[in-house]
Amino acid sequence: MEKQKKARTAHVVLTSHSNQVFKDTPPINWGEKDPKKRGPVIATISEKQNRNAIGTHSGSYTVYRALSIASGAFPKLHKPELANTEGTFRFKPNPSWFDSTKIVTIDPLGADINIHFKDYLDAGYNIKPTIAVTQAHLHIPEVRDAVNEGRLKIDGKIVKEDFSIKCTKVALEPVWYLPGMAERLNVSEGELRKVLFQETGGMFPELVTRPDLKLMLPPIGSSTAYIFGDPDDIHNTDKELTCRVHDECNGSDVFGSDICTCRPYLTWGIEDAARTAQRGGVGLIVYFRKEGRALGEVTKFLVYNARKRQEGGDSAKNYFYRTECVAGVQDARFQEFMPDVLHYLGVKKIHNLHSMSNMKYDAIVGSGIEVVNRLSIPEELIPADAMVEIEAKKAAGYFTEGEIKDSKDLESVQGRKLDE
Ligand SMILES: [Zn+2]
Confidence of residue 18 (pLDDT cuts 50, 70, 90): low
Q: 255: helix, coil or strand?
A: coil
The DSSP secondary-structure symbol of 43 reads -
pLDDT digits (tens, 9 = 90+) for 104-145: 999 999 999 999 999 999 999 999 999 999 999 999 999 999
> What average pLDDT does the segment 328-336 reach?
80
Ion ligand 1 — residues with CB < 5 Å: 249, 252, 260, 262
Q: For the segment 21-80, what is each residue's pLDDT rounded down to a tens digit?
A: 566 789 999 999 999 999 999 998 888 889 999 999 988 888 888 888 888 887 767 777
Least confident of 197-206, 301-310, 407-416: 407-416
**Confidence (pTM):** 0.90
Q: Across 134-138, 306-310, 405-409, which has the greatest mean pLDDT?
A: 134-138
Q: Which residues pair with 228 in a beta bridge?
A: 283
The crossing angle, in degrees rounded to 10, of helices 319-327 and 297-309 is: 130
The catalytically annotated residue of 314, 331, 340, 374 is 331
Q: How many CA atoms lie within 13 A of 362 on its CB side?
A: 9
Q: How far, in Å, from the CA of 403 to the mean position of ligand 1? A: 22
DSSP code, position 232: G
Continuous segment of H or E residues that includes residue 162: none
101 Cβ contact list (under 8 Å, min separation 6): 31, 180, 183, 184
Residue 265 and residue 210 in contact, taking contact as beta carbons nearer than 8 Å: no
Cβ neighbours of 82 (radius 10 Å): 13
Alpha-carbon 323 to chain mean position: 22
The reply to whether 406 belongs to the active site is no
| Helix ranges (DSSP H) in 241-368 | 250-253, 262-278, 291-294, 297-309, 319-327, 339-345, 358-366
Round to whole Å and give the CA distance between 29 and 23.
16
* Cα 261 to middle of ligand 1, angstroms: 6
Q: Indicate if 416 belongs to the active site.
A: no
